A and B are shown apart, each in its own frame.
Chain A
Amino acid sequence: DTEVTQTPKHLVMGMTNKKSLKCEQHMGHRAMYWYKQKAKKPPELMFVYSYEKLSINESVPSRFSPECPNSSLLNLHLHALQPEDSALYLCASSPGVAGTYGTYEQYFGPGTRLTVT
């Protein structure tokens, strides 16, 4: 089973709202990732969790707050977002963060389409 699930599929929120995105994997992977993707562009890495600990924050604004409650779950808490934050948010997981020659293959979820009004 190479499935990563994400909820909700679509989210519309105002700039003063607080919402959360959820990601789940049951492959026993020890690394999980959040990406932001604009239309027809490659994904941009936001956060990396390794063994449930935040290992990488790619200088993401504090209005995005990640959380890893356990090895299967990853959340992204959203607060006071801006219209330019509207994008597809992808979650991914991999067996580990980096091996001898680079990162392991990453398996992506279907994404949450976020619109900030």
Chain B
Amino acid sequence: AQTVTQSQPEMSVQEAETVTLSCTYDTSESDYYLFWYKQPPSRQMILVIRQEAYKQQNATENRFSVNFQKAAKSFSLKISDSQLGDAAMYFCAYSGGSNYKLTFGKGTLLTVNP
């Protein structure tokens, strides 16, 4: 069974600084998708970034980028120039094969200090 592990229950960062959130996963599939979702206190879950495992190039969306290490089964999220609006719970998620399910990690609560 696939598992997703986020080892940092909480993280904090100063405004304008850079922070990296960790995620590791376990799978026997060779091709799959990985996602980072953000859920602010207002509660709507927002897709931040997506990575296809068959792509070697790391995905980037504005200030958000990933470091995808397929062999190590690691998928970390880097947030550059952190803003107060980045404060949220961040969930790493996996989907592979013909599986209809998203497997979520337990989440990392990010605090941004002014």
Contacts and interface: CB of A to CB of B under 8 A. Distances in A.
Interface of A: 31, 40-43, 45, 48, 50, 55-56, 88, 90, 92, 97-98, 100-103, 105-111, 113
Contact of B101 (A40, A45, A50): A45
Interface stretch (B16-24, B48-56, B67-75, B76-84): B48-56
A68 to B, nearest CB: 15
Contact of A105 (B47, B54, B89, B106): B47
A54 B50 CA distance: 27
Contact of A102 (B32, B37, B89, B91): B32
- Per DSSP, chain A at the interface is loop
Interface residues of B, number: 32
Contact of B44 (A98, A100, A109): A109
A40 B107 contact: yes
Interface of B: 29, 31-33, 35, 37, 42-47, 50, 52-54, 89, 91, 94-102, 104-107, 109
A98 B100 contact: yes
B100 A55 contact: yes
B44 A110 contact: yes
Contacts of A111: 43-44
B105 A97 contact: no
